[in-house]
Amino acid sequence: MSNQQRAILEVDQLSVSYGPFEAVKGVSFTVASGEIFGLLGPNGAGKTSTLSAIEGLLRPQGGQINVAGFSILQQPLHAKANMGVQLQSTSFQAELTVAEIIRLFAGIYGKELTPEEVEEKLVEINLQDSGTKRFGQLSGGQQQRVSLVISTIHDPQLVLLDEPTTGLDPQSRRQLWDRIEAIKAQGHAVLLTTHSMEEAEAVCDRIAIIDHGRVIAIDTPEALIAAHRNDPDVIAVSRKGKITLEDVFIGLTGRAVRS
Amino acid sequence: MSALLRADFTTLWRNRRSLRLVLLVPVVIVISWKGMVNMMGGAYVLSGGITIGLISIGLLGYTNSIARDRDKGVFQRLRVGPVAAWTIMSSRILVQIATIMAMTIAIFAVGNLVDKIVLPPLGYVTGFFAAVLGGALYLSLGQLIVGLIKNPETVNSTTRLVYFIFIMVGMLGNFGVLGDVVKESIQWSPYGVVNRVIATALQPETWNLQATYALLATLGYTVIFGVLGIRFFKWN
């Protein structure tokens, strides 16, 4: 973290349990302003539970989460006001138009948008002709763009993106990467989860690999590859002789398919 | 809250076709019971129509919209914003209360124009508030159903079943068609107590101890259903 950067998200010794099952066991990491941080892990590793706890959707059994200095447990509304969230499967009221949805969420974050300002937002995401359409009438890529603009409508310090490019074609995915990098360029901290190692390598400044509820590696993608280049488990799964982030990921988390 | 209310009212307006269907049944009942006005009194006819309208709104309107939006993740999206859970639910309930008010006024108007029912002004006022109170009971019953059942299709079929039972058993039982025991039981059911409170409130000069008991029972049902409905409700 450079001198100009400051920690926007601080997760310290986070623990989440579902009955006797411990989904997250003492996870700690920070995300700084102007940083894109990737949270990677196989299915059931604890990513979603970690993210849900940060979003305030579930109450952890232990640990601390601070967003822009506000505890999500003690000051949830202040913490939520400083973060923008794009959920994995976003859904809005089916009866509302795209313009109405943008106005609704701006209002929730305390911003009253004029029709002109709503139009500007639509132009920003190349949906100027779709303001009167219902959300369900948009394509997957268009829906993701709407979700992204809503998650940043209040200029939050932290943006959480849960598998933002799942199901998108390469063009839409590249466009979304550009938008994520633009969010970073504005000084926002970005935490994203993804199953795409290509995406993590392409856009993340640092990543944490989480497995069985614990962070097992945390660093820049390049540093992780360099650190595990000679690991026998990583070499064993590498293809075509070149070590990639995916090789490191599979080497560290195992070949077994998780349910 | 204002942004949520605006969105929820817009949603209600866009669903006006289903809203019309919800209002249609009580209006048809009030029109078809025109012949009973002289026999049973105008307050009886109006209270019957309003009670059925309240059941429609509480069970078919509110419950199904909550179950559907929960299933689609609409609530999760709202809850990650800086908005308290009670605000989200209050906005939904306020929209339903507005619907209840509109339905009650529509029943009063149809009763007056078609059935020529004329009540003293105070009767309309107290009847109006009794309708809102009765509506709270059915909203809390809807909350209980959506709290206990997670699947939206199962919620839909359950509310339709409960709606049908309430209307058929409630109306027929109240008429005495199903025997005295059922008639007595119906009077203390959610259908019976709401019906009695509204009917008596429409004629405030006839308020008696039985009406007070029915009012207390209405409040009791509302609190029990509401507390259990909130206790068991899951947002996702």
Asked if B11 lies within 8 A of A55 by C-beta distance, the reply is no
Reduced DSSP (H G I as helix, E B as strand, rest coil) percent helix, strand, coil of chain B, to 5: 85, 0, 15
Supply B55's token pair.
Answer: 């059941």
Q: Report the pLDDT value the prediction gives residue A140, as an integer from 0 to 100.
A: 79
Identity of the residue in A92, A95, A110 whose CB atom sits nearest the CB atom of B77: A92
Asked if B11 lies within 8 A of A93 by C-beta distance, the reply is yes
Of A157-171, A238-252, B118-132, B213-227, the least confident: A238-252
CA dist., res. A40 & res. A109, Å (int):
29
Supply B9's token pair.
Answer: 């009212």
Does the pLDDT of residue A247 top 90, yes or no? no
Distance of CA B111 to the CA centre of its chain: 18
Is A187 in contact with A158 (CB distance < 8 Å)? no
Task: Output the pTM of the full model.
Answer: 0.81
Identity of the residue in B10, B78, B236 whose CB atom sits nearest the CB atom of A96: B10
Mean pLDDT, rounded, for A11-33: 93
Kindly report, residue by residue over A148-207, the tens digit of the pLDDT: 888 888 889 999 998 888 777 888 788 888 888 988 998 899 999 988 888 898 899 999
The more confidently predicted of residues B182 and B95 is B95
The type of residue at A13 is: Q
DSSP B115-134: S-----HHHHHHHHHHHHHH
Residue identified by tokens 């598998």 is A163
Is A205 in contact with A239 (CB distance < 8 Å)? no
CA dist., res. B49 & res. B25, Å (int):
8
Q: Report the pLDDT value the prediction gives residue A39, as an integer from 0 to 100.
A: 94
CA dist., res. B31 & res. B83, Å (int):
44
Q: Determine, yes or no, domain membership for A97.
A: no
Q: Determine, yes or no, domain membership for A25.
A: yes
Does the pLDDT of residue A44 top 60, yes or no? yes
Distances (CA, A) of A159 to A8, A124, A150, A162, A206: 10, 18, 11, 10, 15
Q: Report the pLDDT value the prediction gives residue A257, as an integer from 0 to 100.
A: 66
Does the pLDDT of residue A238 top 90, yes or no? no
Q: Determine, yes or no, domain membership for A197.
A: yes
Asked if B4 lies within 8 A of A107 by C-beta distance, the reply is yes
Is the minimum CB–CB distance between B151 and chain A shorter than 8 Å?
no
Q: Determine, yes or no, domain membership for A7.
A: yes
Q: Determine, yes or no, domain membership for A66.
A: yes
Q: Report the pLDDT value the prediction gives residue A253, as an integer from 0 to 100.
A: 82
Grade residue B60 by pLDDT with cuts at 50, 70 and 90: confident
Q: Determine, yes or no, domain membership for A43.
A: yes
Percent above pLDDT 90 for chain B:
52
Grade residue B49 by pLDDT with cuts at 50, 70 and 90: very high
Kindly report, residue by residue over B97-147, the tens digit of the pLDDT: 999 999 999 999 999 999 888 999 999 999 999 999 999 999 999 999 999
- Chain A positions touching B15 (Cβ under 8 A) are 95
Q: CATH number for the domain including A208?
A: 3.40.50.300
Kindly report, residue by residue over B26-37, the tens digit of the pLDDT: 999 999 988 888
Supply B225's token pair.
Answer: 């259903």
Residue of B98, B92, B28 whose CA lies nearest to B65: B92
Kindly report, residue by residue over A96-115, the tens digit of the pLDDT: 899 999 999 999 898 888 89
Q: Determine, yes or no, domain membership for A258.
A: yes
Supply B68's token pair.
Answer: 């559907």
CA dist., res. B110 & res. B42, Å (int):
12
Does the pLDDT of residue A241 top 80, yes or no? no
Residue identified by tokens 């039972």 is B165
CA dist., res. B54 & res. B47, Å (int):
10
DSSP A15-75: EEEETTEEEEEEEEEEEETT-EEEEE--TTSSHHHHHHHHHTSS--SEEEEEETTEETTTS
The domain of A202 spans: 1-82+191-259
Supply A199's token pair.
Answer: 């995406």
The more confidently predicted of residues A246 and B174 is A246
User: For chain A, what is the domain count?
Assistant: 1
Mean pLDDT, rounded, for A34-63: 91
Does the pLDDT of residue B220 top 90, yes or no? yes
DSSP A55-67: HTSS--SEEEEEE
Q: Determine, yes or no, domain membership for A181.
A: no
Q: Could you tell me which chain B residue has the CA closest to the CA of A95?
A: B11
- Chain B positions touching A133 (Cβ under 8 A) are none
Asked if B81 lies within 8 A of A57 by C-beta distance, the reply is no
**ipTM for the complex?**
0.80
Identity of the residue in A57, A92, A109 whose CB atom sits nearest the CB atom of B74: A92
CA dist., res. B117 & res. B204, Å (int):
16
